[in-house]
Structure 1
Amino acid sequence: MFSFGLLNLFQLFFLACFCEPAHALAPGSSRVELFKRQNSTVPFEENNGT
């Protein structure tokens, strides 16, 4: 019974670890946009509605 609970704990831990990078690298995420801006030679327009 204890080993079953421990196994579930490990599964939740690994699930949490593998889900975080997927959200961080999702299209439109701030990290991806920041990476694009740093590596781009074309100046970006600010999204302020003008």
Structure 2
Amino acid sequence: MGHAMTGARARGCSLVQLTSNKNREDAHRFSTGLGFAAGHEGFRPAL
């Protein structure tokens, strides 16, 4: 992740976003361990 974020910064990106199902607690611990903070909840339509 560090390599990907460094590359994103070098290319002028200002945001990196990780997404995960609300029930995946291990994924949430992984993300917060990397320094990410929980943000908003998303919305999507049923097709």
| TM-score normalised by length of structure 1 | 0.23
Whichever of the two has the greater Rg, that structure is 1
Which of 1 and 2 has higher RCO (CA within 8 Å, sep 6+)?
A: 2
Structure number with higher helix proportion: 1
